[in-house]
A and B are shown apart, each in its own frame.
Chain A
Amino acid sequence: MTLKADMRILVVDDMATMRKIIKNMLTQIGFTNIQEADDGSTAWKKMEDAIASGAPYEFIVSDWNMPQLSGLDFLKKIRSVESLKNLPFLMITAEAEQGNVVIAVKAGVSNFIVKPFSAQVLKEKIDKIFNK
């Protein structure tokens, strides 16, 4: 997998503040094509629309704790679709317990980041995902 500045990225978080922080960090890193969704179910709809339009998302950055459809359920939904089994998915959570990491890994997460984090840490996680 290669990293492109115009890679289509979807940032999913129910808190507008966190979406803005992540978007700012991704912009700082050099990405230019970033869209947002405020929950897993909104994100799923956006993904379906993007696939239908022929320009699917290439990287998902999602919070864990969200109403309607949590980040974990959103990830499971994505991994249940054959064509999305390898879609890079970075999970973000405020809850730093080890058990969460294990659950996310079992569900097929590409990498995992615990809040608080800096743009540098986000970049390192992205590099790890795309340089596997």
Chain B
Amino acid sequence: MSNNFIEFSKPFIDAAKNVFETMVFTKLEPQKPFIKKDNVSRGDVSAVLGMSGVLKTGDKGPVEFKAMFVLSWPYETYFKVASAMLMATYTTYCEEISDAGGEICNMVTGNAKRDLAVMGYSSNMSIPSMIEGAGHTIKYPPGTKIIVIPITSAHGPMFMELCYKEE
């Protein structure tokens, strides 16, 4: 795993902690990351957001990069997260909570983008998309490495995934 990938992932962890504390009223406990070898989601509901941009560092020329940020939740966790965020009780997946994960993903990436800019990454974000269903798969950009950061919280487990590639 390149140093740039490790450096790139830190702002997402900090931003996720901030977003969950402020909007979902819960603390996140990130666990030991691992490299993912397949494309099957570890959760039942996933929010996916793509990024692309340029890394400018002092010692070498600009490098283009592609990245993707994914948050996946088992259904039970997703219902509790959406319920806390929207101050209502949800026990099934429905239209009303279908974009809650996307909004969380959007906020995390938006915040991470600010810290990444300080580190030399200028980036563009896509609009988040949602995938729902047990055992769903995620389409990662070809040739990228994927790391999974399992997270525990009072609402249950969730999974943060990041993939990153320099071109």
Question: Is there contact, CB below 8 Å, between B22 and A95?
Answer: no
Q: Does A96 contact B (CB under 8 A)?
A: yes
Bound: A24/B106 CA distance, A: 20
Which A residues between 89 and 132 are near B, CB-CB below 8 angstroms?
93-97, 114-118
- Please measure, in the bound complex, the distance between the C-alpha atom of A26 and the C-alpha atom of B96, giving whole angstroms: 19
On whether the beta carbons of B110 and A94 are closer than 8 Å, the reply is: yes
Q: Choose from B103, B125, B127 the contact partner of A95 (Cβ within 8 Å).
A: B125
CB distance from A122 to the nearest CB of B (A): 11
Q: How far is the CA of A97 from the CA of B113 in the complex (A)?
A: 8
Q: Mark B37-77, 1 if CB is under 8 A from A, else 0.
A: 00000000000000000000000000000000000000000
How many residues of chain A have a CB within 8 Å of chain B?
A: 18
Residues of A within 8 A of B26 (CB): none
Question: In the assembly, what is the distance between CA of A93 and CA of B18, in Å?
Answer: 15
Alpha-carbon distance between A96 and B113 when the two chains are bound, in angstroms: 8
Whether the Cβ atoms of A94 and B106 lie closer than 8 Å is yes
- Determine if A96 and B99 form an interchain contact, defined as CB atoms under 8 angstroms apart: no
Binary interface profile of B, 76-110, with partner A (CB < 8 Å = 1, else 0)?
00000010011100000001110110110011011
| A17-B97, A96-B114, A117-B22 known; A24 vs B107 contact (CB < 8 Å) | no
- Interface size on B (CB < 8 Å)? 25
**Nearest B residue to A64 by beta-carbon distance?**
B110
A96 touches B111 (CB 8 A): yes
B113 cross-chain contacts in A, Cβ below 8 A: 95-97
* CB <8 Å contact, A20 and B22: no
Q: Is B131 located at the chain interface by the 8 A CB criterion?
A: no
Q: A114 — which chain B residues lie within 8 A by C-beta?
A: 110-111
Rounded to whole Å, the gap between the CB of A11 and the closest CB of chain B is 14
- Asked whether any CB of chain B lies closer than 8 Å to the CB of A29, the reply is no
Provide the A5-38 mask, 1 if CB < 8 A to any CB of B, else 0.
Answer: 0000000000111101100100000000000000
Q: In the bound complex, how far is the Cα of B110 from the Cα of A96, in angstroms? A: 6
Instruction: Please give the distance in Å from B23's CB to the nearest CB on chain A.
Output: 5
Closest to B100 in A: A17
CB atoms of A16 and B22 under 8 A apart: no
Q: What residues of chain A have their CB less than 8 Å away from a CB belonging to chain B?
A: 15-18, 20-21, 24, 65, 93-97, 114-118
9 A-B contacts, Cβ less than 8 Å apart? A16-B95, A17-B99, A17-B100, A17-B103, A24-B86, A94-B109, A94-B111, A96-B113, A97-B113
Q: Give 5 A-B pairs besides A94-B106, A95-B110 with Cβ atoms closer than 8 angstroms.
A: A24-B87, A94-B111, A96-B114, A114-B110, A116-B107
